[in-house]
Amino acid sequence: DAKTTQPPSMDCAEGRAANLPCNHSTISGNEYVYWYRQIHSQGPQYIIHGLKNNETNEMASLIITEDRKSSTLILPHATLRDTAVYYCIVRESPFYGQNFVFGPGTRLSVLP
Amino acid sequence: NAGVTQTPKFRVLKTGQSMTLLCAQDMNHEYMYWYRQDPGMGLRLIHYSVGEGTTAKGEVPDGYNVSRLKKQNFLLGLESAAPSQTSVYFCASSLLNTQYFGPGTRLTVL
pLDDT for A101: 75
Longest CA pairwise span in chain B (Å): 38
CB A27 within 8 A of CB A56: no
pLDDT of residue A95 exceeding 60: no
pLDDT band at B42 (very low <50, low <70, confident <90, very high): confident
pLDDT tens digit string along B9-26? 999 999 999 999 999 999
Smallest Cα distance from A17 to chain B, Å:
25
Residue A99: list chain B partners with CB under 8 A: 33, 35, 45, 48, 58-59
Q: Which of B48, B73, B74, B72 has the alpha carbon at shortest distance from B60?
A: B48
Report the chain B residue with the minimal C-alpha distance to residue A32: B97
Q: How far is B17 from chain A (nearest CA, A)?
A: 25
User: pLDDT at residue B102 above 70?
Assistant: yes
- Binary contact (B56, A104; C-beta < 8 A): no
Across the interface, of B30, B45, B103, the residue whose CB is closest to A99 is B45
d(CA A6, CA A19): 12
CB neighbours (10 Å) of residue B101?
Answer: 23
pLDDT over 80 (residue A94): no
Q: Interior CA angle at B42 toward A21 and A8, to 5°?
A: 35
Q: What is the mean pLDDT of residues A39-52?
A: 91
CA B110 from centre of chain: 20
